[in-house]
Amino acid sequence: MNRKLLLLTLTSFSETGGIQSVCKTLVHALFTLIQQKPDRAGNLQMLSLYDREPDTRYIPAKLFKGHSGQQIPFSMACIRYGWYADTVIISHINLILFAIIIKLINRKVNLILLAHGTEVDRKLSSWKIKFINRSISIWAVSTHTAHVLQSRHQISLHNINILNNCIDPFFNVPDEFEKSAQLLKKHQIKNTTPIILSVCRMTTADVTKGYDLIIRCMPELVKAHQDLQYLMAGNMSISEKQRLLRLIYKLRLQNNIKLLGFIREEDLTQYYLLADVFALPSKKEGFGLVFIEAAACGCPIIAGHADGSSDALLNGMLGTLINPDNQRDLTLAISRHLNTPKNNTQAEVLQACCLAHFSFQKYCQNVNQLLL
């Protein structure tokens, strides 16, 4: 890989979330590949529209320029660096206009669009579709996202490559699989208590994640496991929290469900280890980073079969895929896991399989292959 690379992002470091995590991992992969050949250290530049400063774990400050939302300086930087770039990677479809500007001044540039999922599952302007088909290659994070691009927007499959996401290079992959005594004490849970975990953002726009369905399964599950705990972790809007609390009280589950709110990245591993099963029967995941994080922690997984979750679960190798609209299927799947407690041997096998496919090292190999 000896080409001059330019990565354009909306934001990667100033916010948290799936797309931001993918962009951070991608730029670190590009930097890692360039580091392997020190004479090419100046071959990478990252421009961010909304970030101000980088996270220097992922990319050195000298290779990053943030623009704090100022579009004119960002446009000028795109022109300056795009003039000399051999390859420009665009992290979000909303940056297409800047790609067009670069293409006008550098006709030979190779343009690549990273397609995550939800942002391309909406109506696209005809001019965007035309430009993509004519001038852009796409790296889709899952076969589901590739299918959406082809079926909904008539984008040629010849323009699309699959680049599955990976474990963040700084994610704490555990060596042991014991539950945290500190977390058990914090949440007043016994070591023998069965635990279901979901990690996702929770707003009125995120109900397709499937956490409602899990809540509705709980009354049946509690009959067999009276002390069962469902831990719901992730940023939560005030209106969604109020709605969920009403549902929880209506079903009389206030002793069995805990709304944890935001969990720091450095604490995530301990929560995955705490769970007996990770469940998120989503219907609109582009990929689902939380699934491979859970698998890397040896946690059994249940996901929906209707979206990019299938790629994350290797079509069932890493977990159970169910119909995300079928409450009975979900109840039975959770029951099977709760009735078969996880053990360290199974956790080690699950972790090894996950890392064989979704480690950062494997991701770097995949990125390098696509750039050749």
Written as tens digits, the pLDDT of the chain (372 aa) is 557 999 999 888 877 777 888 999 999 999 999 988 765 556 899 999 999 999 999 999 999 999 999 999 999 999 999 999 999 999 999 999 999 999 999 999 999 999 998 888 888 899 999 999 999 999 999 999 999 999 999 998 889 999 999 999 999 999 999 999 999 999 999 999 999 999 999 998 888 999 999 999 999 999 999 999 999 999 999 999 999 999 999 999 999 999 999 999 999 999 999 999 999 999 989 999 999 999 999 999 999 999 999 999 999 999 999 999 999 999 999 999 999 888 999 999 999 999 999 999 999 999 999 998
Instruction: Say yes or no: 220 and 125 in one domain.
Output: no
CB-facing half-sphere around the CA of 173: CA atoms within 13 A: 19
Distance CA 20, CA 270 (A): 22
Instruction: Say yes or no: 30 and 95 in one domain.
Output: yes
Does some domain include residue 371? no
- Of 321, 196, 186, the residue nearest 253 (C-alpha): 196
Position 2 scores a pLDDT of 58
Instruction: Say yes or no: 10 and 156 in one domain.
Output: yes
Instruction: Say yes or no: 105 and 237 in one domain.
Output: no
Place of tokens 């001059």: 4
CB-based burial label for 69 (10 Å; 0-12, 13-18, 19+): middle
Where among 163, 194, 226 does a domain terminate? Answer: 163
Position 42 scores a pLDDT of 63
Distance CA 228, CA 334 (A): 11
Does some domain include residue 28? yes
Instruction: Say yes or no: 320 and 243 in one domain.
Output: yes
> Domain of 318: which CATH number?
3.40.50.2000
- How many domains does the chain fold into? 2
Does some domain include residue 351? yes
Instruction: Say yes or no: 158 and 186 in one domain.
Output: no
- Pairing state between β 87-90 and 110-115: parallel
Instruction: Say yes or no: 52 and 186 in one domain.
Output: no
Position 38 scores a pLDDT of 60
Position 215 scores a pLDDT of 98
Instruction: Say yes or no: 22 and 154 in one domain.
Output: yes
Position 36 scores a pLDDT of 85
Does some domain include residue 245? yes
Does some domain include residue 190? yes
Does some domain include residue 176? no
Does some domain include residue 173? no
Where among 98, 132, 163 does a domain terminate? Answer: 163
Instruction: Say yes or no: 127 and 194 in one domain.
Output: no
Where among 163, 196, 219 does a domain terminate? Answer: 163
Does some domain include residue 111? yes
- Of 354, 351, 332, 331, the residue nearest 342 (C-alpha): 351
Distance CA 27, CA 22 (A): 9
Instruction: Say yes or no: 131 and 187 in one domain.
Output: no
From the centroid of its chain, how far is CA 357?
15
Tokens (6 digits) for 262: 């935001």
- Pairing state between β 277-280 and 44-48: unpaired
- The Cβ of residue 264 has, within 10 Å, a number of other Cβ atoms equal to 7
Instruction: Say yes or no: 226 and 134 in one domain.
Output: no
Instruction: Say yes or no: 229 and 349 in one domain.
Output: yes
Position 131 scores a pLDDT of 95
Report the alpha-carbon angle 203-207-210, nearest 5.
130
The residue range of the domain holding 233 is: 181-357
CB-based burial label for 356 (10 Å; 0-12, 13-18, 19+): exposed
Look at phi and psi of residue 61 and say left if phi exceeds 0, alpha if psi is from -120 to 50, else beta. Answer: alpha
Position 166 scores a pLDDT of 97
